[in-house]
Amino acid sequence: MAAEPIVHRVGKGTSSGVADADPIRTEVIRHGLNSAAEQIKRALVRTAFSPIIYEVLDFAVAIYDHRVRLLAQAPSLPIFMGTLSFCVEAAVAAVGGEQALEPGDVLLYNLPYGTGSHPQDCAMLMPVFLGSELIGYTAVKSHWLDIAGKDPYSTDTVDVFQEGTVYPGVKLYRAGERAEDVYRVVLANTRVPKMVAGDVDANLVGLRTGAVAFVDVVERYGLETFRESVERMFDHGEAIMRSYLERLPDGRYTGRGVIDDNGVESDEIPFEVHFTIDGSDVVVDFSDAPPAQAGPMNCPLPSTVSGARVALTMLAGGGEAPNEGHFRPISVRTRPGTIFHPQAPSPCFLYAWPTFQAIEAIYGAVAQALPAAVTACSGGDICALSWWGRREASGEPWVDGAPHPVGQGASRDADGASSLLHIGESATRFAPAEVWEARNPWVMERVELAQDSGGAGRQRGGLGVDFHFRALEDCWLTAALERTKHGGWGVEGGREGRPNGAVLRLPDGEVVAIAKATRRRVPKGATFELRTGGGGGYGDPAERDPAAVLRDVREGYVSEQAARRDYPHAFAGEAPEGASAPLHESRRSLS
């Protein structure tokens, strides 16, 4: 029998009504906390060993109060950010609760159903004390390059045990002293122990740096005053969200998405997300989702909640870094045993890919309520690649990986941005070609905006990117590409953008199409060609300003052939073919 749906309140608590907390002091404290979170990020970036941390920023950092309510975060990976509270709660419970914590402890946790991620996304957290009183936590969740899964990166796992070593809440440091037995287990369960050891130390530096800054803020004002201001800070965040949600018409709207496949079977996976507005409260309902999949395309509950948090706070957050108050108007409804609430031992390695599609589906639902509120669909994926091997000269193991940018959807008033990472990873980045070539055995033969990849519309979708990697040594590759069968949808008559895709050109001339592929051998001399998708257009293409069409052709964003097909009105003033009359004046700029 199917499990009953469960409703999850996304933000803790309700409006406090703390009106006497000084607003100026509250703002000073808020910025002080954000600064403390930023110090965690900077310490981590400056000391990390892996480019996936110091270049890509594949991590999240945050500060929580003693009730595990979000006080501050630093911009990095949004979908991690929405899951860190689950990580803190689960890790603390695993070691025996608050009463088992003491100053100097550092906890390690990566169980996917509690982190919302694949096991490589390891959470480390530190309880922070003022004297003997627990005042909160500093937390980091970062991608470790390898933790002894069947492959460093996988698209075809069939249970969680293939995906890597699990640390279900253990103390890596006890009262400031490293637990050497746990540490040896960590280093024994990775193909690249030097890099993982360096990143573990970097996480530790970040946690300790943030804890010092956190305590400084509390000591400056006293704990009672600090907590009063925090309550007012949460109330302000809640008010910002509610003021936006009130503008959406009440009702129940449905967003539809489709996933290419689950990694081990070829069938598409359609799904629906229902979006209900009641005044300034919103329920994001995933309970009609398909059953949990045999392959790793399952999104654990924390990342399902995170997808709703990210989608709505990006729309309604007023440009502020969110805190717990921003989440209070949001509830999420799920059904255990489905793709958006899998249970052990369902595989979860590609957890983020359903999350990204869910975010797009939520925006599709919002577009029904108020089209002007959202953009068209983006390229809809991060087009993740993970590479590894052994260097020819030294025999040293190496691993690297990155997300890749796509085109963004157009809005009512502007063309979509080109070459940006999906909104779920919007504060991360991909490494410069120079860094890739310096660290890894390949040459970047092409990194360029892809002409004609954005969807046509009154406002054009943003462009995807073409990346060509030529291997200088034998290596291995895992590719995890989604939205290869369907481009990003348009709004109000806008057309789809280009889907994602890739091919591997082997030295003997064979060409192999790649979408989701694990441990694909890339021989020396082969070229991997990645084509990231474009964003959807907004509005009828026939309404696009002819000058904008001609400018796109002149700049190379749109080919003349595609422009004539999609925007014939922009060429209506030309003389008939074969005539000697000059072209329309605005067309002359193309020559």
Per residue in 202-222, pLDDT (tens digit) is: 999 999 999 999 999 999 999
pLDDT at residue 52, rounded to an integer: 85
pLDDT at residue 577, rounded to an integer: 47
pLDDT at residue 317, rounded to an integer: 67
Summarize pLDDT for 13-31 with one digit per residue, the tens: 777 666 678 899 999 999 9
Summarize pLDDT for 39-74 with one digit per residue, the tens: 999 999 999 998 889 988 899 999 999 999 999 998
pLDDT at residue 582, rounded to an integer: 35
pLDDT range class, residue 474, cuts 50, 70, 90: very high
Most confident of 44-53, 431-440, 469-478: 469-478
Would you say 47 and 108 are in contact if contact means Cβ atoms under 8 Å apart?
Answer: no
Of 190-194, 425-429, 539-543, the least confident? 425-429
Phi/psi of residue 106, each to 5°? Answer: -135, 125
Q: Across all residues in the chain, what is the average pLDDT?
A: 92
pLDDT of 517 over the 90 cut:
yes
d(CA 308, CA 283) in angstroms, rounded, equals 9
d(CA 254, CA 276) in angstroms, rounded, equals 9
Sign of CA dihedral 535, 269, 116, 181: negative
pLDDT at residue 12, rounded to an integer: 81
pLDDT at residue 540, rounded to an integer: 97
Of 71-80, 290-299, 321-330, 367-376, the least confident? 71-80
Phi/psi of residue 29, each to 5°? Answer: -65, -45
R_g over Cα of the chain: 25
pLDDT range class, residue 348, cuts 50, 70, 90: very high
pLDDT at residue 424, rounded to an integer: 82
Beta strands per DSSP E along 184-329: 251-259, 269-278, 281-285
**Would you call 560 exposed, middle or buried from its count of C-beta atoms within 10 A (0-12, 13-18, 19+)?**
middle
Percent of the chain with pLDDT over 70: 96
Q: Using a CB cutoff of 8 Å and minimum separation of 24, what contacts does 314-321 make?
A: 314/78, 314/423, 314/426, 315/244, 315/366, 315/373, 315/374, 316/240, 316/241, 316/244, 316/245, 317/240, 317/241, 318/240, 318/244, 320/237, 320/240, 321/34, 321/72, 321/73, 321/74, 321/75
pLDDT at residue 581, rounded to an integer: 36
Of 95-109, 246-260, 313-327, 360-374, the least confident? 313-327
Residue with the larger pLDDT of the pair 299 and 7: 299
pLDDT at residue 70, rounded to an integer: 95
d(CA 309, CA 83) in angstroms, rounded, equals 10
pLDDT range class, residue 80, cuts 50, 70, 90: confident
Place of tokens 């990873």: 425
Beta strands per DSSP E along 319-425: 330-334, 384-390, 397-402
Range 187-195 average pLDDT: 95
Amino acid at 516: K
Summarize pLDDT for 126-175 with one digit per residue, the tens: 999 999 999 999 999 999 999 999 999 999 999 999 999 999 999 999 99
pLDDT at residue 134, rounded to an integer: 98
d(CA 43, CA 207) in angstroms, rounded, equals 9
pLDDT at residue 18, rounded to an integer: 62
Range 279-300 average pLDDT: 96
pLDDT range class, residue 381, cuts 50, 70, 90: very high
Summarize pLDDT for 540-573 with one digit per residue, the tens: 999 999 999 999 999 999 999 999 999 999 998 7
Instruction: Report the predicted TM-score, pTM, of the whole model to 2 decimal places.
Output: 0.91
pLDDT at residue 435, rounded to an integer: 85
